[in-house]
Each structure stands twice: as C-alpha cells, then as structure tokens.
Amino acid sequence: MKILITGGAGFIGSSLCIKLKEKYPNYSIVAFDNLKRRGSELNLVDFQEIGIQFIHGDIRNIEDLNSVGDFDVLIEASAEPSVMAGLNSDPSYVINNNLYGSINCFNTCLKYKAKLIFLSTSRVYPIDKIETANFIEEATRFSFTEDQKERGISKLGISEDLSLYGARSFYGTTKLSSELFIQEYSAFYGLKSAITRFGVIAGPRQMGKTDQGVVTLWIAKHYWKQSLKYIGYGGLGKQVRDILHVDDLVDLIVIQLHHIDKFNGKIYNAGGGLLNSLSLLEMTALCQKITGNKTTIDLEIQNRPADLMIYITDNTKIENEIGWKPQKSAENIFSDIFRWINKNEEQLKTILK
C-alpha cells in the first residue's frame, strides 16, 4: 500500500508517518508538507532514517500534488489548525489552505482512484449552541449538566446530533465545507472516504503555542518554569477540554485504512471523552506533579474570540459502531510529552521555551 500523508511533517502527520512505517514496514509512506510551521523540519531526519519519502510541496498547488505520482490512500492532515486563524488576521490563508487545498487533495484522489481519510475537527459545531448550554461550576472545573435544551449535548459532551447551524470560526467553517464537498465527491464520483471530527489531540512532536497545542504549551512552560495565563471565563482556569493521545488517533486511522467501508458515508466524533477531560486548573496540578515545578500564572478575565467554556467529545457513536475508544489517559499524555521534551531539550528549547 502507498499512503500519501499531507501535512506529513506536522504533529499529527509525522506521528502517522512514523508509526505506520514502524507497524507496516512494507508500506510506502510519503510525507507531503510545506514546512510552514516552525519545528516541522526536525522530523525530516527521522523520516530519512526509517525510509519515509518526503516531498516539499503545498496542497494549494495542484502541480505539487501531481508530482507525488499514484497512491492508494490519502490522509489529509494538512490544515491550518488554529481557531484564531482569520479572526485576528486576513482569513485568506486559512480559507485557501483548508478548503481549496483540500479540494485539490480530493481531485488528486479521483485521478488515482485512491481512498481518502479526512481529519476534520470538533470546531465544526457552532459556538453559541455550546456556549449557551446548561452548566454548573464545580471546585476545579465547569461541567455540562444532563438537562439540556439542545439535542446533542449531555454530561458526556457533544455528539454528532448537535445542530450545525451557526457561526463556528473560519477554521471550523473551512473544515465543515470540506466535509460537505467530500459528501458530493462520494455521491457523484464514488470517492471512498472516512471523515472524523477530532477534539484536542496531544502527544510528543507537537510544537505547542498559545493558539494551538495547549497541552504541550502547558507542560513546556512548567518544564522551563515560565509563566502561563488563564484567559477568559473570569480568569478562573476552569474551562475544560477532553484530550486524545495521538497514538489513539493512529489506532483509529489504522482501522480506517483497512476497513474504510465501515466509515464511508458516515461521520464520527472522536476524542478523549469525559474520562480524559481536564480544566486548565487540573492541567496545572498535573504538570506540577509530573515536572515537580511550579510556575507563575497570570489571569485575564476577558474571553478570546471563538473560545469555548467546555468542549468534551461524546464518543458513544464510534464506540458502539466501530468498537474504538481511547486507551491512554490524560496523565499518559502529559507524561509522554514531558519525556519527549526532556530527551530533546536542546532542539526544542528554542521553539517551545
């Protein structure tokens, strides 16, 4: 099998490339990336050592994609991942990359009669519907209540039943638009595809920043004893996200690679779930436990645009229909990132510090 992974030098892409090559050494793995994100170039050494082909290209240029030649499966992991993209700057890049670039990927799949695995996002769900959900304030976090006015929200989190009507960010809208185009390509051109709406993904190789990669950012700032900030929601640090280890994502992609008919024509949420959810306060306590360090945390009361008080993935549908569920705990995730930083401190300190 020849697998093309767009965004292949990024956090998720590089993890997929390396773990798939280790698991299936006879597969041909091609990493395709424009190396826009700082730190992605560090993965090229690992690619060379284990026989992963790297192509420096941009999905916005169809000619770059055509240079790959034929392949069996395309894993589309090349998105501009920041929810803030286009909200604090010109939205042209996020639109051109995440939407038009993805359409180039779909057309390339058709050209070579290849299958498509599309990494979508939980950010397709509208902000207002989640922000106006019923919640309670507990000692260290905000939590959804069971009594909700919107179908698709419960104590377990957000399910695929939540209405998609409403604003969600340029990032979320480009990903939802791509989902809709995939459905058209599937209906009229027979494109076989798997679409998964992932929540927060974390693990080694993630170059965390304030707008994306909060788990790595949090552990890195504790590692180097640098200050952090609780932003929004009164500066309490009680906003919550569920976290999925990148290894659990890889396990799901492996199922999709070999059993895509189970996913074709369907859309699933996949995340850490309620058991692997943490508030910023709880993340801080866990980072202190793992690193043995404390850091200064400033408070900013005002909310950031497009932020959410709570997002937790309800995995009920994918667990029941596919049998997949997360295997690694939140503590596993933070500990793995800590060990990765500790092992590669000299390389990473100029990027993460």
From first to last of the 353 residues of the chain, give the pLDDT tens digit.
999 999 999 999 999 999 999 999 999 999 999 998 888 888 999 999 999 999 999 999 999 999 999 999 999 999 888 888 888 789 999 999 999 999 999 999 999 999 999 999 999 999 999 999 999 999 999 999 999 999 999 999 999 999 999 999 999 999 999 999 999 999 999 999 999 999 999 999 998 776 568 999 999 999 999 999 999 999 999 999 999 999 999 999 999 999 999 999 999 999 999 999 999 999 999 999 999 999 999 999 999 999 999 999 999 999 999 999 999 999 999 999 999 999 999 989 888 87
Give the integer Cα–Cα distance in Å for 241 and 334: 14
Amino acid at 348: L
Give the integer Cα–Cα distance in Å for 71 and 3: 6
Residues 6+ away with beta carbon under 8 Å from 335: 290
pTM: 0.96
What is the extent of the structural domain holding 147? 2-352
Report how far apart the first and last C-alpha atoms of the chain are (Å, whole number). Answer: 39
Q: What is the CATH number of the domain that holds 38?
A: 3.40.50.720
Contact between 143 and 177 under an 8 Å Cβ cutoff? The reply is: no
Count of structural domains within the chain: 1
Give the integer Cα–Cα distance in Å for 68 and 6: 11
For residue 342, what are its two tokens? Answer: 């500790």
